[in-house]
Structure 1
C-alpha cells in the first residue's frame, strides 16, 4: 500500500510547513551560527547577519551558494518556522524596523524550527492509512503543538523542546512501525548506526529503520529504500544515484538537498529533485 501522499491540512495549513523565504525576515541568515567547514565558507556568530544578506532579507549569492562554499545553506529547511515567527509571532515587524524585537525573535526562531519539524512529521504520519489505531493521538499531538506555535514569544521560547520531542517521537515511531509492518520479510535495523562512507550499493533496505543513522558519503546507489524510516538520518554527500526512495517515511527536502543523486533516483512526489543532481 502506497504512503506517498501530500501533507494534509490539519489545523495548520500544509503550506505553513514549507519554507516561504519571501515572508521571512532572513532569520536563518541571522539567528543561527555557523563555522567554517565544508558546509560554510566563513564563521558567523548567532544573532549576527550573514554578510550575504541583503537589505530586502534575500540572499545576495543565492544562485551561487554551492559554488561559493555555502552548501549548508542549500540543505537547510526551517519547515516554515521563519515565516511563522516573522508574520505571526511578531506580527510582521522585522528586527530591522523594530530593533527591540531582535533578541526575542532570534531566541524564538530555533525553538520554532524544531516545533515545525515535528509538525511536519506528524502531518505526514496522519496521511498514512495504516495508522488507524493511533490516528487520534497523532491528531491531538498535532493540534496541541500547532497551538503552541501560535502562542506568545515567551511561551514558545519557554517550551521544553526535549520533552516535547521525546513524546512526539514515541508516537511517530509507533506510526512508522505500523506502516513498515506491511513490508514482507525481516527488516534491517540501522537506527543511529555509524554508516559514514559505508558501501551499500544496491542494498535491500525496504522497510528498514535508518532513524538517526549517519550516512555521510555512503554509497547508496541503486539501493532499495522504499518505506524505510529515515527520520533524522544524515545523508550529506551520500550517493543516491539510481536509488528508490518512493514511500520513504519522514524523508525531507533538506535530506535530498544534502545528498547526491541522478535522473534515475526515484523520490516521493511531494518532494522535488535537487538542482545539483546529475542529469
Structure 2
C-alpha cells in the first residue's frame, strides 16, 4: 500500500534505527526502570534495532516508552536523510543523526497538527494559510542533515502555532455558547467528574491524575495537555482538537470512553 501523508506521520519502528532508544535520555522513575544518557543505546535495544521487551514494556518498568511517538521522524531520518545507513554502520554519523532526529521529530509533530487542521471544515477560512505552512514545513523536512540542525525551530513553531490557534478558535466556536479557557491551568489531581468542558481551551493544561470520569471533552483543544494517569473512563473526546495517541496512552480509560475517529483504545485501559 502506498504511503500517505497520515501514515508518514506515524512511527514505523521497523524502518527506523531505534533512534528514540538511543538519542533520547531518560531517568530512573515511575516511567523508566533505569537511567540512560543521551546517545547511549537502551539496554533493551537489539542488534536489529527492535525492542527486546516491546510486548512487556509496562510490566518491565518502561511505561515511558509506551507514551512516546516520533510522528514518523525516526523512519524519515533513518531512510531518507541518512539514506538507510545506520549509526552502527557509520558510527561517525551517530551524533549528527541524533541531533537531526530531535529536530525532525518537532517538524513532524507540526506536520501532524497542520494535517489535522486542514481536515477541519470549520477551519476553512484559514485553509489557504494552513496549506502554505504545510508546504513550507514539508520543504524543511526534506533538507540535508546540516540544514536541519541549523534550523531555527522556535521560529517555525511560532508561525505554525499562530495558525493552530486560529484553527482552535474556529473549531471550538462551533461548540455552542461561549467556549471557556483553562489554558495552562494546574488541574493536577482535580475532581472533574462529569465536567461540562465542551469546546474549552485546555492547551498545556496539567491534568495529571485528574478525575475526568464521564466528562464532556468534545471539541476541546488538548494540544500539549498533560493527561498522565488522568481517568477518562466514560469521557467524551469526540472532535477533540490536536489530541495525540501518546496522550491517550498516558491516561486511563475504559470501553465507554468515546474517542475521536482514527485513535486506538490503549491496551492497558479497563475493558
Same fold (TM over 0.5): yes
Where does residue 80 of structure 1 map in the other structure? 72
Q: Distance in 2 between matches of 1:202 and 1:45?
A: 42
Higher relative contact order (CA 8 A, sep 6+): 1
Where does residue 195 of structure 1 map in the other structure? 187
C-alpha offsets along residues 76-126 of structure 1, whole Å, 9 cap, x if unaligned?
010000000001100100101111211110111111101100110000000
Question: How far did 1:54 drift?
Answer: 0.4
The list of structure 1 runs, each at least 4 consecutive aligned residues, that deviate by more than 6 angstroms after superposition, is none
Q: Distance in 1 between matches of 2:80 and 2:207?
A: 36
Where does residue 172 of structure 2 map in the other structure? 180
Where does residue 38 of structure 1 map in the other structure? 30
Q: Distance in 1 between matches of 2:186 and 2:29?
A: 21
Question: How far did 1:269 drift?
Answer: 1.7
Where does residue 134 of structure 1 map in the other structure? 126
C-alpha offsets along residues 36-65 of structure 1, whole Å, 9 cap, x if unaligned?
111111110000000000001011111111
C-alpha offsets along residues 177-199 of structure 1, whole Å, 9 cap, x if unaligned?
01111111122211001111111
1:1-279 to structure 2, matched below 5 A, reads 13-279=5-271
State the Cα RMSD in Å.
Answer: 1.0
Question: How far did 1:13 drift?
Answer: 2.1
Aligned length: 269
Q: Distance in 2 between matches of 1:114 and 1:195?
A: 26
Q: Distance in 1 between matches of 2:140 and 2:244?
A: 23
Q: Distance in 1 between matches of 2:58 and 2:6?
A: 29
Question: How far did 1:130 drift?
Answer: 1.2
Q: Secondary structure at the match of 1:155?
A: helix
- TM-score where L is the length of structure 2: 0.98
Question: How far did 1:230 drift?
Answer: 0.2
Q: Distance in 1 between matches of 2:178 and 2:167?
A: 18
Bigger Cα displacement from structure 2, 158-167 vs 18-27: 158-167
Question: How far did 1:67 drift?
Answer: 0.5
